[in-house]
Each structure stands twice: as C-alpha cells, then as structure tokens.
Amino acid sequence: MNLNEQIQPILKKIKVYSQNILNEWEHGTDMALFAQEAHELSGVMTSIGRVVPQEIYSEYQEFFDHFRVFCGQCKDIGFMQSHIEDMVSSISLVIECIEDLGSKCSRRIRKCVCCSRDVVCRPMSDRGQEDLICPVCGAGDRERMVITFLKKEKLRDAAEGTRVLQIASVAVVGQWITQYCPQTEYETADLFREETTLHSDLQRMHVIAEGAYDVIICSDVVQAVWDDRQVQGELKRILKPHGIILFGLPVELDEKLTGRLAEQFCVHSLLEEYFGKQLHEQCALTDTSVLYALTKEAGVSLNLEEKVTVDEMLCKEGPLVSVIMSCYNHEPYVAEAIESVINQSYKNIEFIVADDASSDHTADIMKKYSSHYAKEIYFEENYGGRSEYLQQFATGKYIALMHSDDVWEKDKLALQVAYMEQHEECGACLTWCMYTDENLEEMAETTFLKMNRSSSQWMNYFWKHGNALCNPSSLTRRETAANVRKNPCSQLPDFFKWVDIVQHSSIYIVPKVLIRMRRYSREGRVNTSAYSDENYMRSLVEKGANWLYVIRDMESGFFRQAFGEMMIHPEADTEEEIKCEKFFLMLNHSNVFIQHSAICYFSEIFDDVKECMEEKYHYSYKELRRDSMEKGIAPFLYKEQEEEQE
C-alpha cells in the first residue's frame, strides 16, 4: 500500500464525519451537541498533519490550525451562539479543503516507477507544461515512460546477454537497468561526457558494429535531432533486426517528421491507451506525454521477454524431485504455496510436508491437498526447523525447499532440472527471487538478482556482503544436501549451507524471477524474511560463531583464491602464514562477533604461529592484548559497565 492509499481513507473519514455534523445541525441538533461534535472534529483533524506530507499539507495548515483554535473557543456555548454561522461555514470549508487535499494527494503522491519510493512529485516548470519530477531520483515524464515500458515489456526477463545502449544517458534510467536487469549488457554513448562507455556522435557511430543492440534508449535526445536522416540511418544500422529504439517527448511529432521516420522505421506512438489508464495515472504521466518505439519492421514485437522452451519429455520422465515444505501459522498463504508446487510443469515430484503445530487453520487447509503428498506429518508441538527433519524421507535425485508463504512460477523446477542434468559438477541450482508484500506486490529490494560467479568469487562475496541466494529457490543434489555441514543457526542456516557448498562444488543461478518470497509483519508476528532488531542481532551473532570454523577449516588454496586481494601478504603459502592471514582476515571484519572469533582463533594457533607472527607480520602478544580490548565485544562491555556506574 503506497502513501496515497494510506491517506485517502483518513481524509474520507474526516469528510464524512464533517458532513454528518452539518446534516445533524440542519435537522435540528441542539447547540451543545453541535459544539461538542465540532470540537471532536478538530481533534480528529490532527491526524491529517501526521500522515499528509508537509509539501502538500502546508497550503492548508494555517486554516486547519485556526479552525482548531476556533473549535476550542466554541466549547463556550455563549461564544458558539454568537458565532454559529461562522462555525457552519468553517465546517463547510473543511469539507472543501479535504476534497482538494485528497485530489492533490492523488495527483502528486506516487510510488515512483523509477526508484520505487513513495514520493511527493514536485511540479517541473522548465518544460513549459505541468510535469512532475521525483524529488528522490529526479525522474520526470520521459524517464518514467521509458522505465514503465521496460517493466511492461519485461526487460528483466530478457535473455542473458541482451544488449542495451542508452544515448545521452540519463542516470536514473541506467541505475534502474543496472539494478533490476543485471543479465543485460548495458552501455552508454555520448560525445561529450567522460563517464560513458562509448564516445560517439549520433551521426558517426562507426565504433559500433552493425546490428549490435536489442534496445536503444534516447530519452534525453531533443526532437530536432530526429529530423536528421544520417542519425536515423546510423541508429537503424546498429539496431538488431528485431530491436527497439525508444524515445519520449512531451508532445506528438508533427506529420512531416513522422513521415520521415516512417521511411526508415515502423513508428509506434505509445499513449495512455498503451500504458492503461491506471498505470498512466500511477506513473504521473501527462495526457500529452508520448513514448515512441521504432522498429525495423511492422511485425516486430515490443515484448523483450525471452521465450523459454521447456523440455516436455523431461517434465514427464525426468528424475524424481523431492519437494520439502514445513509450515507454521500460514493459513492465508499455504494453499497458494501448495498449488504453485502441484501445478509445476515438471511432474515427477514427491511432495513431503509437515505442519509444525500451527495454532490457526493451516493444518486443515494442508489436509485438503493430501492426495498430492508422498508424506505428510502434523506435529502436536511446535519445534521449528522441521525442513531439515523432513529431508530424511526424501528419495529423489534432487531436493527442492519450499516456504509455505512463498509462490513458485510454473516452470521453476523444469528449468532447474534441465540445467542440473546437463552439469554434473553443479551441486545446487537457484533462481532469481523478488521479495513481495502479503499480496505478492513486488518490493524494490533486489537482493536476489545476482549474476553467476565462480565458487571462490562467491566466497569473497559472502564474506563482504552476506547472503544473496534465495533458499526456497534452491534445487540441490541429494548427496550434496546430505554432506552439508550441520550448524545450529536459526537465522542463517541457508547462508552457511551455501558457504559450505561452494567449497566443494559449484552453484548456478537461473537469471529469471521464478519465486516470489513474502516479507511481512502480521498481527505482531514478523516472518524470518522480515527485518527486525532481533533478527538482525541474531544474524550478527551467528556470523561470528560460524565464520570461525569456516575460515579455520578452509583449504589453503581455496582461501588464497577467495581472499587473495585481502591478504596482508598475497604471496603467503606456508601453513603458518595462511593461519596468520586467516586470523587477520577475521580480526579486520566489521562484525564485532567475528573479531571476537579471531581472538579465540589466535589462542588456538598461538603455539604454531608465534614466530611467524612476530617475524613476518610484526604482531606479538603486546598487539594481541591491545586488540582484545579494542576489538570484538570488549569495548561494548566496557561501555555497558560505564553506563551502569553512571
């Protein structure tokens, strides 16, 4: 729910309340009751200033403040009797202001299509028309049209390696493509800007090969340029046969220019009819805004989504996949999760489920689908972590984990099994994932939109950034899952599973959003995917405890591959030197619990590395004493003691 959707019910409630007061007065309400209700109205109106952004509210604030003061005076019946006409007219004016305020909120408050933030778009006058610009990312009409097109035509689902060129680049468009479409090869071209991929004039783009790009974006190229036949010819030359050129303008092209463009291209004028009225209004597009799409032929589809072919024979006769799903209190979502599994195009599935003693009707809903289960268990006591327990019943070649409040796309398993069958060296296959709210509306976060890396590169990423792999998107070989080192984590069990797997195998990510993962807080209960102070602190502690054994036991060659750039002496190769490097790697981490683990590790290796530490790293017992007090948890304990003494 965006900000405007939160505000409108409040304004409607105040408007109805105000109108009811006037109606009651017209039907003969006594003076005392009228004064009381007017005073209560002034109290209700204080909520407006709390929810309506100041940029909009400020226009009405002076009147609303005076009205509340006036209502306070009217508690005196004598004062009310002498000012009754003023009160009636004031309440009528409140209704008008509320209506006007609601209209302004509807028009100016948007979830920006470019940065996905709830914003109050401000008027932009330099284009000589009523345009709105996002105060966060700076997106105007043209940028919103381009990004809305790319969303609508599914650039995020385009084939890996799709080439996109932005000419006279606008930062917000490039940022959106880079963030949401990392599988594309995004480049920029400009003659004058230094921070560009290609320095080239539109009339002479000889550095670019013929038929190079799938999409060419020219959102900030002025209309006059389009009348240049040489520019048209160059753009057509570097465009692929089924490619698309995009440019937006505040007005429709004149017939003369449209005719010239039509000599080279098929011209698609995309107006409100294309975007749809609701989307057009949501994106704060004006009635005169036009996005043009140029294609080489009339029959070229504007849709950018890769056409995925699923092996139907594999879906019917492929190896058995064990789908594991444990559930607890997911009554509103569990049916949708179950159906997304049983409706997979891949059919050779054994579905193993459990309910972990839910206190709502989750178990009753699950039992309606009993005919689809290979095994179902309904526990009488809540324990948590039942997925690991259920894996002992799996007999499939592959194991897929499912969260009971998430949703799979229908071809998820088919695409993953096809890859795994062709790549025996791969231990686990995952997919892109988008976080959503309870209603499966996508959130802006792109944690799980990551491109593939080597195993050592993944280890480096995990160390620096944490998890970027979506556990309920995973398909893992059963022997790989069985050999994963067990850990007692409740917040990060999947994270350290990937940390373990990449040391002995490889992982692959299908670059498509094939799972939608709910993140929410409902009825005071936060799911494990949602942020909370408790979840955050638990993550820090678990990282501190588990990275200790990961780094300590890591094979030396793999350690150098993963962390060579961070080593004090990159050429280090003896057993003693690698132990020293492992100590310093942990000691210099930003997580204080990992720092504490480093100090514990030093105690373990001290006898083995004492001479190496002093001679090569110039680190002695003296430095350890200093670091044990300045790093890790000691500084926080000291601070806590000082606060208690104060």
Phi first, then psi, for residue 295 (nearest 5°) are -130, 160
DSSP string covering 378-414: E-SS--S-HHHHHGGG--SSEEEEEETT-EE-TTHHH
**% of the chain at pLDDT higher than 90:** 57
Q: Is the pLDDT of residue 344 over 80?
A: yes
Task: Name the β-bridge partners of 550.
Answer: none
Task: Name the β-bridge partners of 188.
Answer: 166
pLDDT tens profile 139-186: 888 888 899 999 999 999 999 999 999 998 889 999 999 999 999 999
Cα distance between residue 477 and residue 487, in whole Å? 19
228-258 burial, b at 16+ Cβ within 10 Å, e below that, comes to: eeebbebbbebbbeebbbbbbbbeebeeeee
Give the DSSP H or E segment for 321.
strand 321-327
pLDDT tens profile 119-134: 887 765 544 444 678 8
pLDDT tens profile 567-606: 999 999 999 999 999 999 999 999 999 999 999 999 999 9
pLDDT of residue 127: 44
pLDDT of residue 319: 97
pLDDT of residue 273: 87
Distance of CA 413 to the CA centre of its chain: 23
pLDDT tens profile 402-452: 999 999 999 999 999 999 999 999 999 999 999 998 888 888 889 999 999
Where do runs of H (alpha helix) occur along 343-385? 362-367
pLDDT tens profile 291-342: 999 999 999 999 999 999 999 999 999 999 999 999 999 999 999 999 999 9
pLDDT tens profile 292-303: 999 999 999 999
pLDDT of residue 409: 97
Where do runs of H (alpha helix) occur along 189-301? 229-238, 255-264, 272-275, 277-282
pLDDT tens profile 451-502: 999 999 999 999 999 999 999 999 999 999 999 988 877 788 889 999 999 9
555 or 4: which leads in pLDDT: 555
Are the CB atoms for 186 and 178 separated by under 8 Å?
yes
Task: Name the β-bridge partners of 295.
Answer: 266
Q: Is the pLDDT of residue 630 over 70?
A: yes
**% of the chain at pLDDT higher than 70:** 95
Task: Provide the 3-class DSSP secondary structure of residue 439.
Answer: coil
Task: Name the β-bridge partners of 515.
Answer: 408, 433
